[in-house]
Amino acid sequence: MSLKENNLVKKVTNKGFLDIPIPKKLNLIKEIKKLKKEKNAVLLVHYYQDPLIQELADYLGDSLYLAQMASKINNDKIVMAGVHFMAETAKIVNPSKKVLLPDLKAGCSLADSCPPRDFKLFKKKYPNAIVVTYINCSAEIKTLSDIVCTSSNAKKVIESIPNDKEIIFAPDKNLGKYLIKETGRNMILWNGSCIVHEAFSFDKILKLSNENPDAKFIAHPESDSVILDFASFVGSTTGLLNFVQRDLSKKYIVATEVGILHEMKKKCPDKIFIPAPVQDDSCACSECAYMKMNTLDKLYNCLLYELPEVNLSKEIISKAKKPIERMLELG
């Protein structure tokens, strides 16, 4: 590695991203599009990203779609405008590609809530259980799993497991509780949650719904069960997006990260979408602070310098690949 490259890597190590000033007059949108071509890079973007980044996507979607697309990419580089576990998943399913993430500190409260050391001890208590992990977990947790799922296919994954088998579901207790209700399977749950989906206020949602009797309330299954029980429809990010396109209502109160409203408004320009209210009025809690760590500046530097890169050991890749592939095989 040259001295210059070495210094750049050091910069990333300190901050998690390349903090290099960008010339003021630069048209970042144009430059990012140009760099994608020059570098033979594909930009995968989650619906929770800033709308400006969503507009630059080669592929825009939910966690399942991004994992599926990452496994099919032939280009040299994959840039993940999402969070760390999504970049790790891309590396696991397509290890020969250089996988870049604009900010390495773009983490996830669900992934953080499940440290591998604690999870190993937890797993030991149920030696015969099948371990199903939500994709929102670290690569190391995936190596301890039998099958991975996302919110789009979780029900299908649980239903694929023989009825006589005990199931551990981690790390999201809310999605877990929802799946227990939906499938009738009595699973052992890990006690993790998403800070964004747990921030919604049931009382305020109730009040807002009373003020807007023509609005349908819809929610992501990472939300608390009181909120899910009140929803007219529960679904993954893509599930919610598909629902508002086929449903006949004109107005929706949406309990998930606000980034999805951008695509909802694009797909249904005549409909009204209201973000569900959160408990703390002083915070922008329905925005995922981790997802929003990726900015246009960081994306530009990431493409230009091809850093930060997400790497995993061969051992982790080979062990984590199996449960992800089992999920992808289910379709």
Q: Which stretch binds ligand 13P (CB under 6 A): 6-14, 144-152, 276-284, 295-303?
A: 144-152
Instruction: Output the smallest distance, CB 321 to ligand SF4, in A.
Output: 22
Is residue 45 packed enough to be buried (19+ CB in 10 Å), middle (13-18) or exposed (0-12)?
buried
Q: What is the CB-side half-sphere exposure of residue 121 using CA atoms within 13 A?
A: 4
CB of 180 to ligand SF4, least distance (A): 19
CB 68 to ligand SF4: min, Å? 18
Torsion of CA 269, 271, 276, 282, to 10 degrees: 50
151 vs 306, which CB is nearer to ligand SF4? 151
Among 113, 145, 150, 294, binds ligand 13P (CB under 6 A): 150
State how far the alpha carbon of 301 is from the alpha carbons of 84, 100, 239, 297, 298, in Å. 17, 11, 33, 6, 5
Cα distance between the two ends of the chain? 41
Tell me: does residue 294 bind ligand 13P (CB under 6 A): no
Binding partner selected for residue 236 from ligand SF4, ligand 13P, none, CB under the kind-specific 5 to 8 Å limit: ligand 13P
Of these partners, ligand 13P, ligand SF4, none, which one is at the site of residue 195 (CB under 5 to 8 Å by kind)? ligand SF4
Q: CB-wise, 11 or 142, nearer to ligand 13P?
A: 142
Q: Which does 133 bind (CB under 5 to 8 A by kind): ligand 13P, ligand SF4, none?
A: none
Site for ligand 13P in 106-125 (CB under 6 A): none
Mark out the alpha helices in 50-188 (DSSP H runs): 51-54, 63-72, 84-93, 109-112, 116-124, 139-143, 154-159, 173-183
Partner whose binding site includes residue 150, from ligand SF4, ligand 13P, none (CB under 5 to 8 Å by kind): ligand 13P
Give the type of residue at 63. Answer: S
- Name the segment binding ligand 13P (CB under 6 A); options: 7-15, 36-44, 116-124, 150-158: 150-158
In the region spanning residues 15 to 44, those forming contacts with ligand 13P, defined by CB under 6 A, are none
Comparison of 201 and 237: residue with beta carbon closer to ligand 13P: 237
Q: Which residues bind ligand SF4 (CB under 6 A)?
A: 48, 83, 108-110, 136, 194-196, 222, 257, 288, 290-291
The residue assigned the tokens 């773009």 is 106
**Among 94, 109, 152, 295, which residue interacts with ligand 13P (rule: CB under 6 A)?**
152
Nearest-5° Cα angle at 329, 290 to 182: 70
Burial of 180 (0-12, 13-18, 19+ CB in 10 A): middle
Q: Give 57's contacts (C-beta < 8 A, 6+ positions apart).
A: 43, 44, 45, 81
Spatial separation of the C-alpha atoms in residues 150 and 137, rounded to whole Å: 11
Q: Which residues bind ligand 13P (CB under 6 A)?
A: 62-63, 136, 150-152, 194, 222, 236-237
